[in-house]
Structure 1
Amino acid sequence: MPIHLLPDHLINQIAAGEVVERPASVLKEVLENAMDAGSTVVDVQLEQGGVRRIRVADDGCGIPKDELPLALERHATSKIASLDDLERVGTMGFRGEALAAIAAVSRMSITSRADGAPHAWRIDADPRELAPAALNHGTVIDVADLYFNTPARRKFLKSEGTEFAHCDDVFRRVALARPDVALQLSHNGRVSQRLPAGTREARVRALLGDDFLAAARSVEAESGLLRVHGFASLPAYSRSSRDAQFFYVNGRFVRDKLVTHAIREAYADILHGSRHPAYVLFLELDPFGVDVNVHPAKIEVRFRDSRAVHQFVYHALNRTLATSGAGAGSALGSGSPAVDDEARPASPAATTGYTHAPQPYQTRLAMEPASRAYFEFAASARPEPAGSGPSTAGAATTGFSATAFPLRSTSAGTSPMPAPTLPAGDLAPPLGYALAQLHGVYILAQNEGGLILVDMHAAHERILYERLKTLLDGSPGVQRLLIPAVFGVGSKDMASAEEHAELLERMGFEIGPAGPQELAVRSVPALLASAPVAELVRALLSELRDYPATEVITARRNELLATMACHGAVRANRSLTLPEMNALLREMEATERADQCNHGRPTWTALSMADLDKLFLRGR
């Protein structure tokens, strides 16, 4: 067959195969054009999931009469004119082939009135004839009967509901990027979304809900020409799918493997492996630093300095997530107490929650010599000031007498002890003070907003993990055992102990053979002095033998430390004294990422007085 030129119509249909995958693809291209036109109001109307009709009306600058025929030609655009423009693309669309491709597989018309024009003009894709039309301003693009002339392609479309869901996703992505534009989406004559112009927070709230914002932290970071801002959820709001992940580069929604990896790494310490974070993040950089011309649908990008972008996004998000809700003073109680005949005096914290970090509790407690139990030392790390009464001792010192808050009366007929008095304002720690221990598993504490429940093992595990990470980067404190711990192991563990002896020593373990199938542990990290030695070392050796030493030191370093922390943390069913419980609360407030354990589970939760009133129907 001789070489020949393809007819334009066939070229456009081939291009449509890349650009117009489904109705949502059409909506994306047309919506992006509306944004580029400087629109402030955009109305989207769909019929039958977008297959029957996609109509997008905007109030943008419009298209002059003489340029309407060009708008339907391939590679015709007003957005770039040179290679330099292409390397610094600042608009959503720029290829100049979308409208031509859409017109090749649908019945499309464009009605537009340019600024200053006496009236509007309309052009149909086939035949391409101009005619006067009525339109106040802006542009209306009407796409009907998608794939009417390519029935094979139409067979690949899904149900009406599925196609509309894809269109809704595209609408939400554009709406999140442009909160300054009012948008409305209708399907089969029924309004699905009505979004007034407003703030970014209001737009996020409208599209992702109050639950997302309540469980999210604001992200704001800037370095040189890079800036990232938006919202990232805490692990408590994690999802089973990636349906709540929105990342934008210079206002363009993208799916980028490099950025996704950076975000996943930032969540690695606090999110369970099978769960996915939720976020709405916006990366801004010099357009020259990113190539958006790598995918026909412009869904992928390529960064000129990918490593710098990866590190910037990772560190920005990591720092945001590292701040513990306990230490950062997130609202631990919310809502207003119910009103009844026994209404309590309403303090600011009781109605709005604790909203600022108390400076006196931001300093880490001193490290304890390994010969004494960790909590016993932490509870007595600061002396109790002379003259402290039972109700105020805990306010002035990290450790206080266990008799400060008696749990029960000691004799019949005596008056019950009053509830502990919490200091107001900056003196009150976010997690309050311990009241009791429940079934040897949970700590009950009272703060200004209400009741705090803490999983003591999960909380201590996070504290140890963060400490171990810090110590491993320096010189970890080592506790020599008075009597070496000797225990039997298998041949694989013996070989693993010998192979990784240097790494184990760096981590604070001195381990050597004590017999053909026995190991002797002579020292352990000071932080883990009270941990069950044999169980801890067996778990470590099991981790080490499955991976090369270099990978353990780099990629799996934190997993090893997490294993150590898990085995070193205080176990369930261990009875703690009130000073020990309060020492744990203070450590949580001073520890990064203390809201979650190493496996991504929450370490504490709060019930405000309003929550408790609602639970017991007070005020009804």
Structure 2
Amino acid sequence: MSIIRRLDNETVSKISAGEVILRPSNVVKELIENSIDAGSTFIEIELKSGGKEMIRVSDNGCGISKEDLPLAIERYTTSKISKIDDLDKTVSLGFRGEALASIAAVSRMTIVSSNGESANLMEVEDSKIQSLKATAAPKGTTIMVRDLFYNLPVRKKFLKTDKTELASIIDVFLRYVIAFNQIHFKLISSNRVIQEYFPQQNQLTRILSVFIEYKEGDIVEFKDADNHLRLFGSNFNIFRSDYRSIYTYVNNRFVNDRLLRRTITDAYSNILPPQKYPSCVLFLDIDPREVDINIHPQKTEIRFKDPNRVFSQVSHLLKQFVSRLSPKGTSPTNESIAIEQDRREPIYGLSESTPGYNAYSNPGHHTPSFLDKGGDIFESAGFFSSLNILGSLEDRFIVLSGHHSLILIDQHAAQERILYNDIIKNSKSGKGITQRLLIPMNIDINPLLLKRIELFSSKLERLGFDIEIFGNNSVIIKGIPVSLTYGFSEKEFIDIISNLDEDIGKLEEDDIIKEIAATTACHASVRGHRRLNEMEIRRLLLDMDKADFSTACPHGRPVFFEITIDEIEKRLDRK
């Protein structure tokens, strides 16, 4: 008896739909692309319940005739190509003929379309046409998708909260807003306009209108001689903690290409701090025959015919661009250590009579070593503050001397651990201790980050933030965690919010708090390459003595290490 069976058409259509439509943002993506391919200059997206209850996309494009409407929801029907060879020259965003068929298979769908001669309304449920009749409508197409996955409960139960799904839709929405500056985009959620972008003359203006936290000069435009590569990149003083602010487009198609992203981060690596990423938008225009866009049903993955040549040229141009961003008048950093050279002149220009300051060890003064305590340095109060300060290395590492040893402290990691401990301790009560700002901070912020603030608002409040969302593009910070005593700026806040994503949202509440606390502590801590004066170092050492300490920062990097005299003698062949 045969155990292999042929699947019925209904099962096949639902399986195929699952490759294209995973969540509401995929529906929005496919419908926006159809609108753009139809030549629209106005696209409006309306949502209810984060797109789970309803998605409506309206445009003023060329419309669909009555004869073509039934074909539009069948699999592998398209107006973009007619044979496989057409893929070599297609520049449209859609071409597979799967989008509407996939949406129709997992929702209740209504299409109203006018081609300028006649207007028609078609209702579809579970891929079956329920009605098709004449109606009145302006030129263009409106597609309404209701009850997504109503007939596929296995998929429906994996949808996220309304806020999370809306954040995902905004992410997709902005990809097209950035690329198509000549189109008027409007996004409505729960009967409220949350984002609207009017047509703009040039790409840079549109990019700055999306990322309104950037000011003039923060984003710089660069083009090659043939205009095949356009880059809108952040200046050397603007950076992020992840690559989510890097947008890459090939022939105006948003792509997730790891090598293109790597080429960008490599080009920036010499002017940004370690593990930091630029904000940039890259447009690459290439002969369609040189790139394969038919890799995945979602059409965000591509393959270049000659990737080595493409990436070599892109890398060369990017490095030219980045070299122009480097701050003028700076020289390469030398690996040097600022150590006292003259015993009569203590470091930082302080007098030898400064109370509590030992520029050098006294022969009769015994300073402790954590090795003297069997490796447990935290049993002895005042260990760090009793060490002798020698200087700083690269304005990142504090150099100290103990009893028969040298100790190096990573100033950023040390304060990061101290702040993290304080923030977590203050959050234990359920609401962190808030330091009220005398003058609240009003911060312009892009819609994607605004949604992240909404998603994590209760967690931010528990840590001590007092944040009020003001309109569609700004927030007011009225208070910050009391532990943030080293100053707090707009940039630090945006960096913290930029690190929040869906992956963090999947954790347990206490783990989410720890993740946000770790990010907050990292961005609020004193930066490497900023020289601390003697009093600031003393303050840091005292804080380290008082803290419920750990030998590593919240991200696992060591805070300090000790080099004993035995190790030094061995290295110098003295033992």
Both structures adopt the same fold (TM-score exceeding 0.5): yes
Which residue does 2:148 correspond to in 1?
Answer: 146
Using a 3 Å threshold, how does the CA distance of structure 1 residues 119 and 100 change in structure 2: closer, same or farther?
closer
Deviation, 1:602, is: 8.1
CA distance in 2, matches of 1:143, 1:68: 16
Deviation, 1:270, is: 1.7
Which residue does 1:34 correspond to in 2?
Answer: 35
Using a 3 Å threshold, how does the CA distance of structure 1 residues 80 and 311 change in structure 2: closer, same or farther?
same
Which residue does 2:171 correspond to in 1?
Answer: 169
1:208 equivalent to 2:205? Answer no
* Greater relative contact order (Cα < 8 A, sep 6+): 1
CA distance in 1, matches of 2:308, 2:243: 24
Paired amino acid for 1:124: V
SS in 2 for 1:237: coil
Paired amino acid for 1:137: K
Contact map agreement 1:186 1:193 (CA 8 A) in 2: yes
CA distance in 2, matches of 1:130, 1:105: 19
CA distance in 1, matches of 2:176, 2:160: 23
SS in 1 for 2:16: helix
1:217 equivalent to 2:220? Answer yes
1:310 equivalent to 2:311? Answer yes
Paired amino acid for 1:28: K
* Alignment deviations for residues 437-494 of structure 1 (CA, whole Å, 9 cap, x no partner): x968xxxxxxxxxxxxxxxxxxxxxxxxxxxxxxxxxxxxxxxxxxxxxxxxxxxxxx
**Bigger Cα displacement from structure 2, 261-270 vs 158-167:** 261-270
* Alignment deviations for residues 202-232 of structure 1 (CA, whole Å, 9 cap, x no partner): 2111111251653222121146xx8111311
SS in 2 for 1:100: helix
* Alignment deviations for residues 44-68 of structure 1 (CA, whole Å, 9 cap, x no partner): 0011101011100000000110010
Percent identity over the alignment?
38
Deviation, 1:325, is: 5.5
CA distance in 1, matches of 2:206, 2:528: 29
Which residue does 1:130 correspond to in 2?
Answer: 132
Contact map agreement 1:42 1:58 (CA 8 A) in 2: yes
Using a 3 Å threshold, how does the CA distance of structure 1 residues 147 and 315 change in structure 2: closer, same or farther?
same
* Alignment deviations for residues 343-391 of structure 1 (CA, whole Å, 9 cap, x no partner): xxxxxxxxxxxxxxxxxx99x9xxxxxxxxxxxxxxxxxxxxxxxxxxx
CA distance in 1, matches of 2:296, 2:118: 39
Contact map agreement 2:271 2:326 (CA 8 A) in 1: no
SS in 2 for 1:65: coil
SS in 2 for 1:32: helix
Using a 3 Å threshold, how does the CA distance of structure 1 residues 26 and 119 change in structure 2: closer, same or farther?
closer
Which residue does 1:435 correspond to in 2?
Answer: none
CA distance in 2, matches of 1:260, 1:60: 33
Deviation, 1:271, is: 2.1
Using a 3 Å threshold, how does the CA distance of structure 1 residues 324 and 232 change in structure 2: closer, same or farther?
closer
Paired amino acid for 2:235: L
Contact map agreement 1:205 1:212 (CA 8 A) in 2: yes
Q: Which aligned pairs between 1:539-618 and structure 2 lie closer than 5 A?
A: none
Contact map agreement 1:64 1:114 (CA 8 A) in 2: yes
Contact map agreement 1:271 1:601 (CA 8 A) in 2: no
Using a 3 Å threshold, how does the CA distance of structure 1 residues 278 and 76 change in structure 2: closer, same or farther?
same
Contact map agreement 1:238 1:277 (CA 8 A) in 2: yes
* Alignment deviations for residues 406-446 of structure 1 (CA, whole Å, 9 cap, x no partner): xxxxxxxxxxxxxxxxxxxxxxxxxxxxxxxx968xxxxxx
Deviation, 1:603, is: 9.7
Contact map agreement 2:43 2:59 (CA 8 A) in 1: yes
Contact map agreement 1:114 1:120 (CA 8 A) in 2: no
Contact map agreement 2:65 2:118 (CA 8 A) in 1: no
Which residue does 2:493 correspond to in 1?
Answer: none
SS in 1 for 2:193: strand
Contact map agreement 1:212 1:233 (CA 8 A) in 2: no
**Stretches of structure 1 lacking an aligned partner (at least 5 in a row):** 328-360, 365-437, 441-599, 605-620
Q: State the number of aligned residues.
A: 336
Q: Which aligned pairs between 1:222-301 and structure 2 lie closer than 5 A?
A: 222=225, 227-301=228-302
Deviation, 1:269, is: 1.4
Paired amino acid for 1:122: M
Which residue does 2:85 correspond to in 1?
Answer: 84
Contact map agreement 1:292 1:301 (CA 8 A) in 2: yes
TM-score scaled by structure 2? 0.55
Which residue does 1:567 correspond to in 2?
Answer: none
Which residue does 2:355 correspond to in 1?
Answer: none
* Alignment deviations for residues 177-216 of structure 1 (CA, whole Å, 9 cap, x no partner): 1000001001111111111011212211111125165322
* Alignment deviations for residues 559-604 of structure 1 (CA, whole Å, 9 cap, x no partner): xxxxxxxxxxxxxxxxxxxxxxxxxxxxxxxxxxxxxxxxx97899
Contact map agreement 1:112 1:140 (CA 8 A) in 2: yes
CA-based RMSD of the aligned residues comes to: 2.5
CA distance in 1, matches of 2:225, 2:257: 20
Deviation, 1:24, is: 0.3
Q: Which aligned pairs between 1:367-378 and structure 2 lie closer than 5 A?
A: none
CA distance in 2, matches of 1:177, 1:222: 20
CA distance in 2, matches of 1:602, 1:60: 54
Q: Which aligned pairs between 1:82-481 and structure 2 lie closer than 5 A?
A: 82-115=83-116, 117-125=117-125, 126-198=128-200, 199-211=202-214, 213-222=216-225, 227-324=228-325, 326-327=327-328
Contact map agreement 1:69 1:123 (CA 8 A) in 2: no
Contact map agreement 1:270 1:601 (CA 8 A) in 2: no
Deviation, 1:129, is: 2.5
CA distance in 2, matches of 1:439, 1:285: 56
CA distance in 2, matches of 1:63, 1:268: 49
SS in 2 for 1:99: helix
Contact map agreement 1:122 1:133 (CA 8 A) in 2: no
Paired amino acid for 1:109: T
CA distance in 2, matches of 1:325, 1:307: 27
CA distance in 1, matches of 2:43, 2:529: 42
CA distance in 2, matches of 1:90, 1:201: 23
SS in 2 for 1:201: helix
Using a 3 Å threshold, how does the CA distance of structure 1 residues 279 and 601 change in structure 2: closer, same or farther?
farther
Deviation, 1:249, is: 0.4
Using a 3 Å threshold, how does the CA distance of structure 1 residues 97 and 118 change in structure 2: closer, same or farther?
closer
CA distance in 2, matches of 1:302, 1:213: 35
Contact map agreement 2:123 2:130 (CA 8 A) in 1: yes
CA distance in 2, matches of 1:4, 1:129: 33
CA distance in 1, matches of 2:215, 2:27: 29
CA distance in 1, matches of 2:261, 2:269: 12
Which protein is bigger by CA-based radius of gyration? 1
CA distance in 1, matches of 2:83, 2:177: 30
SS in 2 for 1:281: strand
Using a 3 Å threshold, how does the CA distance of structure 1 residues 169 and 324 change in structure 2: closer, same or farther?
closer
Which residue does 2:46 correspond to in 1?
Answer: 45
